[in-house]
A = this chain, B = another copy of it.
């Protein structure tokens, strides 16, 4: 029965939700505690490092969730450009459904935690790197060289993050969608440049 959750999971879940909507400092422990139904003592039992430890854990958990979504989309799609477009439409839809509130859970925490919060910063770094790796692998399968695939994957993740932010500012899906289309075009060109080269060699 997955309905019954322990306090730790409940806390994390609410933390992810609220941090991405209101930022780190904008979200009070009291809110997280009350919404998750956990008493204060429980919180400090599971997260002796306090709010910052919770944030780091929330970032990691959220990153894994998104990585899972990326993997699923890649697995389902036959082409890299298909995966790119599929992912953006999914993200845009989901973001719109949240009322254009739920930003990237990594960014929201990263940007307003004190820059000396090394645990959080490290968690964010790893999150981004894992996503880049996934996309790079996908692009490589489409025929790109490893180095090119890596560069494009990094740029793609950057574009996504940026588009997510612009979509929030505009309260509209359009930047995410538009970036998906533009990038998939560029990607197609890159693949075409790279792959048919082998063909001409023949």
Q: In the complex, how many residues of chain A place their beta carbon closer than 8 angstroms to a beta carbon of chain B?
A: 51
Query: Are A25 and B112 in contact (CB-based, < 8 A)?
Result: yes
Inter-chain pairs besides A100-B115, A186-B189, 4 sampled, C-beta below 8 Å? A99-B115, A107-B111, A108-B111, A158-B163
- State in angstroms the CA–CA spacing of A25 and B112 once bound together: 8
Q: Are A183 and B171 in contact (CB under 8 A)?
A: no
Copies in the complex: 4
Residues of chain B lying within 8 A (CB to CB) of residue A24: 23, 25-26, 112
Chain B binder among A78-86, A121-129, A134-142? A121-129
Q: Report which residue of A112, A152, A178 has the largest number of chain B beta carbons within 10 angstroms of its beta carbon.
A: A112
Contact indicator per residue, chain A 189-202, by CB within 8 Å of chain B (1) or not (0):
11001000000000
Complex CA–CA separation, A127 to B152 (angstroms): 26
Asked whether A101 is an interface residue with its Cβ less than 8 Å from the other chain, the reply is yes
Residues in A lying within 8 Å of B, measured CB to CB: 21-26, 99-101, 103, 106-108, 110-115, 121, 124-125, 127-128, 151-152, 154-155, 157-163, 165-166, 168-171, 175, 178-179, 181-183, 186, 189-190, 193
